[in-house]
Chain A
Amino acid sequence: MLTETTKEIKDILGYRELLRNLVVRDIKVRYKRSILGFLWVMLNPLLMMVVFYLVFSSLFQRTVHNYIAYVITGITVWHLYAQSTSRATRAFFESANILKKKALPRSIFPLSMVVSAVVNFLFSLVPMYIILIVSGASPLKGALQYLPICILLILTFTYGVSLLLSTVTVFFHDTIYIYEVLLLALMYLSAIFYPVQILPEGSMVVVNLNPLYHYINLFRACVYDSTLNPEVHLFYSSVYAFASILVGWTVYFTNRQRIVFYL
């Protein structure tokens, strides 16, 4: 499996122009018919933040030191994860006509979904930093040195989940709909718009089991929140990223030859 894995990675590098074009296709097609186009990448998290702020700020403002900063950072990370993985459920179906014609490293298709979410993520960092500064958070006080590893771990985790979902969906179409519900539940469990302190005591065991909680908080620790302990979240984040890519790759790898038969 190891030699085959390195071969597939090499193949993906050989097909990097395809990867680029898949990402371009993804981004262009999505915004081609809208007036504001790519601006929506930056507008969407801002509007979501406004909604959360209007609904919840009076509730949580006293527990959370800088509520706007808290929410916008949560949303930004959440979007990266949610966008890649929910699109990835359809990764092989959407490219069925390519997969049926040409022998390719198939893992490139879920990968392209993650990469296009990363492009969106990088653009959404602009409005996020503006909000951080305007709201009085000081971005330089965060543990900035961990930011690259933080993003790398999020992406590793996300790609693992994407591989798992895209493969499983080929054999069980219901995965698409089940995952929609799971994603909603996960969003409510990820402490995006509420502080974990409001949860009943003893629930931290459950919260710690949620990878997204750690990725979001690690990200917050990196970009502004000096009250958080980045090392703890870094530990959990690494464990989950490793487990995710291991499971995702194994499931994809053992089934990859069968995928074409089911498209």
Chain B
Amino acid sequence: MSEKEVIKLDNVGVRYILQKERPRTLQEYFISLFKGGNHRKTTEEFWALRGINLTVRRGEALGIIGHNGAGKSTLLKVISGVIPPAEGKVEVRGNISPIIDIGAGFAPDLTGLENIYLGASVLGMSRREIQKRIPKILEFSELGEFINAPIRSYSTGMVARLGFSIAVEVDPDILIIDEVLAVGDQQFKRKCLKRISEFKERGVTILFVSHNITDVARLCDNILWLRQGRIHRYGEAREVAQEFFRQTGGPSRSGQRER
């Protein structure tokens, strides 16, 4: 991997074992043991990603698009090291901050403030760092006095705002944004997009997953279009977005209205 590259995937494949087909309880496990030959058949394999070659340079913003089940989230997981690849090689340089999506890692019974500690420490921050950044997190989240209420009383948008505010304070080398902007209101979304652009200018590498192709095209340098676990198109953002619109029937109505 050269100096400028921060992410490199070499022929990466991820294999899932289909959930419904595998023995889940001891009883089923022993039954499948006694059936002998049938045992193999109960574990059906499914390649969520296959043959992925990808290089991301430092400071690049890469958009990842594709329909549901195309492998977008799996790609993010394998890059962030949450799951190991079944084949191929993943190289990543620098620390990764995933924007915690709705409620991930948050405890509903704890207050917003307590959840800041929890969420920030999931991202690897120390106690001192968290304390130093709390004023900024509070300011960005715009939660005001709600910060002392348990987050089970929050709306989805408020939780997403809290998650985003924490993640952008981590100073990551690589920022992963997975569909979180879909839940906030327009004003907060603009604020987030602005913050993301600032990150980009500072040389932070960004992986941006969204179904809103207009947003992706505006923010990203390149787009990776996944289809059924394989790279369908990869290239300059505007070109791939246009190609996408051509194939799927123009920019979606909702996409236009959001402007």
Which A residues contact B (CB, under 8 angstroms)? 14-15, 17-18, 20-22, 24-25, 28-29, 32-33, 95, 97-104, 172-175, 178, 257, 260-261
Chain B residues lying within 8 Å of A102, measured Cβ to Cβ, are: 80, 82, 98, 105, 122-123
Q: Mark B68-111, 1 if CB is under 8 A from A, else 0.
A: 00000000010011111000000000001010110111010110
Within the assembled complex, what's the spacing in Å between the Cα atoms of A223 and B81?
47
Listed A/B pairs (22) with beta-carbon separation below 8 Å: A14-B124, A15-B121, A17-B121, A18-B118, A18-B124, A25-B107, A28-B114, A29-B107, A29-B110, A33-B109, A97-B103, A97-B104, A97-B105, A99-B82, A100-B82, A102-B122, A102-B123, A173-B24, A174-B27, A178-B26, A261-B17, A261-B83
What is the minimal beta-carbon distance from A23 to any residue of chain B, in angstroms?
A: 11
B127→A17 contact, CB < 8 A: yes
Contact of A28 among B27, B100, B109 (CB under 8 A): B109
B117→A21 contact, CB < 8 A: yes
B80→A103 contact, CB < 8 A: yes
Quick check: is B216 within 8 A (CB to CB) of the other chain? no
Since A18-B118, A100-B77, A101-B101 are in contact, a sample of 14 more A-B pairs with Cβ atoms closer than 8 Å, ordered by chain A residue number, is A15-B121, A25-B118, A95-B105, A98-B104, A102-B98, A102-B122, A102-B123, A103-B81, A172-B24, A172-B26, A174-B25, A260-B77, A260-B83, A261-B17
What is the minimal beta-carbon distance from A116 to any residue of chain B, in angstroms?
A: 13
Known contacts A17-B126, A32-B109; is A101 also within 8 Å of B82 by CB?
yes
Chain A residue with Cβ nearest B128: A17
B83→A101 contact, CB < 8 A: no
Within the assembled complex, what's the spacing in Å between the Cα atoms of A22 and B110?
12
Q: Which 3 A-B pairs have the closest CB atoms?
A: A103-B81, A18-B121, A97-B104
Known contacts A28-B110, A178-B26; is A101 also within 8 Å of B105 by CB?
yes
B107→A20 contact, CB < 8 A: no
Quick check: is B29 within 8 A (CB to CB) of the other chain? yes
Task: Tell me the interface secondary structure of chain B in the complex.
Answer: loop
What is the minimal beta-carbon distance from B9 to any residue of chain A, in angstroms?
A: 16
Quick check: is B125 within 8 A (CB to CB) of the other chain? yes
Q: Mark B124-158, 1 if CB is under 8 A from A, else 0.
A: 11110010000000000000000000000000000
Quick check: is B16 within 8 A (CB to CB) of the other chain? yes
Within the assembled complex, what's the spacing in Å between the Cα atoms of A178 and B83?
29
Chain A residue with Cβ nearest B129: A17
Chain B residues lying within 8 Å of A97, measured Cβ to Cβ, are: 103-105
Chain A residues lying within 8 Å of B27, measured Cβ to Cβ, are: 174
Interface residues of B in 200-219 (CB under 8 A from A): none
What is the minimal beta-carbon distance from A97 to any residue of chain B, in angstroms?
A: 4
Chain A residues lying within 8 Å of B109, measured Cβ to Cβ, are: 28-29, 32-33
Which B residues contact A (CB, under 8 angstroms)? 16-17, 24-27, 29, 77, 80-84, 96, 98, 100-101, 103-105, 107, 109-110, 114, 117-118, 121-127, 130
Within the assembled complex, what's the spacing in Å between the Cα atoms of A30 and B124?
25
Within the assembled complex, what's the spacing in Å between the Cα atoms of A261 and B114?
29
What is the minimal beta-carbon distance from B132 to any residue of chain A, in angstroms?
A: 13
A21→B118 contact, CB < 8 A: yes
Within the assembled complex, what's the spacing in Å between the Cα atoms of A168 and B104?
24
Chain B residues lying within 8 Å of A104, measured Cβ to Cβ, are: 122
Chain A residues lying within 8 Å of B17, measured Cβ to Cβ, are: 261
B124→A15 contact, CB < 8 A: yes
Chain A residue with Cβ nearest B106: A97
- Most chain B CB within 10 A, of A22, A98, A257, is at A98
Chain A residue with Cβ nearest B109: A29
What is the minimal beta-carbon distance from B226 to any residue of chain A, in angstroms?
A: 19
Chain A residue with Cβ nearest B23: A172
B24→A21 contact, CB < 8 A: no
Chain A residue with Cβ nearest B120: A17
Within the assembled complex, what's the spacing in Å between the Cα atoms of A173 and B162?
33
Within the assembled complex, what's the spacing in Å between the Cα atoms of A33 and B80?
37
Chain B residues lying within 8 Å of A257, measured Cβ to Cβ, are: 83-84
What is the minimal beta-carbon distance from A127 to any residue of chain B, in angstroms?
A: 27
Chain B residues lying within 8 Å of A174, measured Cβ to Cβ, are: 25-27
Chain B residues lying within 8 Å of A261, measured Cβ to Cβ, are: 16-17, 83
Chain A residue with Cβ nearest B16: A261
Chain A residues lying within 8 Å of B117, measured Cβ to Cβ, are: 17, 21, 24
- Most chain A CB within 10 A, of B24, B81, B103, B107, is at B107
Chain A residues lying within 8 Å of B25, measured Cβ to Cβ, are: 172-174
- Most chain A CB within 10 A, of B26, B27, B84, B105, is at B105
